[in-house]
Amino acid sequence: MAKAPSKVTQVTRSSIDPRRNLWPLVLGQSVSLLGDYLAFFFALPVFVRDATGSAAQLGVLAAFETAAVILFGFLAGVLLDRSRIRRAIIGADLVRALGFGLLALAVALDVGAVWMAFAVAFLVGSMGTVFDSGLESLMPSVLTDDLLVVANSRLSVGRNLAQTLGFVAGGVVLAWSGGVAGAFAFNAFSYLCSVAALLLLVEIRPRPPVAPAPLGPALRSGLATLWRSPPLRWATAAATLTNLAFAPLAAVMTLYAADELGIIDDTQLGVFFAAFSAVGAAGVMAAPRLVRVVGLGRAVVVGCFLFGVGALATGVVDGWWAVVTLGLALTGVSVNQVGFATLRQRLTPPDHLGRVVAASRTIAWAGIPLGASLGGLVGDHIGLRPLFAGGGIAICAVAALMVLGPLWRTAPAD
């Protein structure tokens, strides 16, 4: 039998204001995400684009990242439920820092190659699976239930602001000689900032110990827990279909901006990405209020619909008008993710949280490698505008289907 915590420990933890954990959590991840958007989502695709000039190769880059999620996602959940979550995600951050640090060194020494970009994408995708699922699983241990929506919303705002600043900095940095290596080096540093922030968090509701179990039964138990929750089951299936439709669009975004929107210069490209990210950040600030009014389940549906409309409109508009349409799409993504993440955190038993979060994320990401790989090839043959318009229509169709399920029937007070 596990030893009960002492009264002194209980009093100390109960006296901690959980809000003290909000700022280290949000700021640490915002800095880390700033590095990701500067290097992983901007400099790395530009590096591959300049080396190959192929939409198909950009699709392969995205596929390498997401294939790692599919391969290791379920195992990551078992690992998280068996270990101390904070220690596991700190280790993942350190490995990611090493990967980007070595790539920065290779590019600085003029020995960087496209295969290295694919290798780093796979490594970062693998460790990102552990980190992202682990962070979501850690949050109920350091925050109260009423703070989860607030924290998830602030993380989404931080993500969008990091995207804004990251793309602006990316356009400027890449315009300088050696800018790609500098971007990769900064991302390695940003992961170390995340580690420092995680060390500042104080657990107020430690998870109950999980008895070790064979891998097979542990995996089945996590999947069974996910399946028994209709809202989580529907949201996970919808996310899989949505990712399948949008993955091709994300993979060819830099090429679309250059070929269809006329935004060719790297500095302009950074400003363009930053502008629609800023619109998305402004939109997601309303997420907590929206959740209070319509409920978590309906917020997932509304976010998906906004996402689809924005993607569809992007395939129609010209030039810088895409800032507005992509900003709408990004707002929808953020609202959808805030609702979905908070549902997982509230509806999952603490001893299964790692497995359920990882399983849900892995299933949801299953459509990305296929969509990214095929989408690049399709874009090369039919054109990029039809690719965007078709993806937006498909996402709107998924939102319409969700109206028929349990997510739309949840009460506003869920």
| 11 domain residue, yes or no | no
CATH number at residue 64: 1.20.1250.20
Amino acid at 404: L
* Cβ 156 vs Cβ 284: under 8 Å: yes
Q: Is residue 414 situated within a structural domain?
A: no
What is Dmax (Cα atoms) for the chain? 68
Cα 382 to Cα 190, 376, 378, 391: the distances in Å are 39, 10, 6, 13
Q: What tens digit of pLDDT does each residue of 55-76 get?
A: 667 767 877 777 777 788 888 8
- 5 found inside a domain: no
The answer to whether residue 178 sits within a structural domain is yes
| Residue 110 belongs to some domain of the structure | yes
Domain count, the chain: 1
**Alpha-carbon distance 27 to 158, whole Å?**
8
> Is 219 part of a structural domain of the chain?
yes
Full residue range of the structural domain in which residue 357 is found: 18-206+215-409
386 within a domain of the structure (yes/no): yes
pLDDT of residue 15: 62
> In this predicted structure, what is the pLDDT of residue 1?
36
How far apart are the C-alpha atoms of 264 and 254, rounded to whole Å? 9
Answer yes or no: are the C-beta atoms of 307 and 336 closer than 8 Å: yes
How far apart CA 152 and CA 343 sit, in angstroms, is: 11
Tokens 């804004």 found at: 164
Whether 4 is in a domain gets the answer no
Model pLDDT, residue 8:
34
**Mean pLDDT per 10-residue segment, the chain (414 residues):** 37 64 92 89 81 70 75 85 89 95 88 86 90 92 89 88 76 68 90 95 79 80 92 93 83 78 76 83 84 88 94 89 90 90 91 90 80 67 80 92 88 47
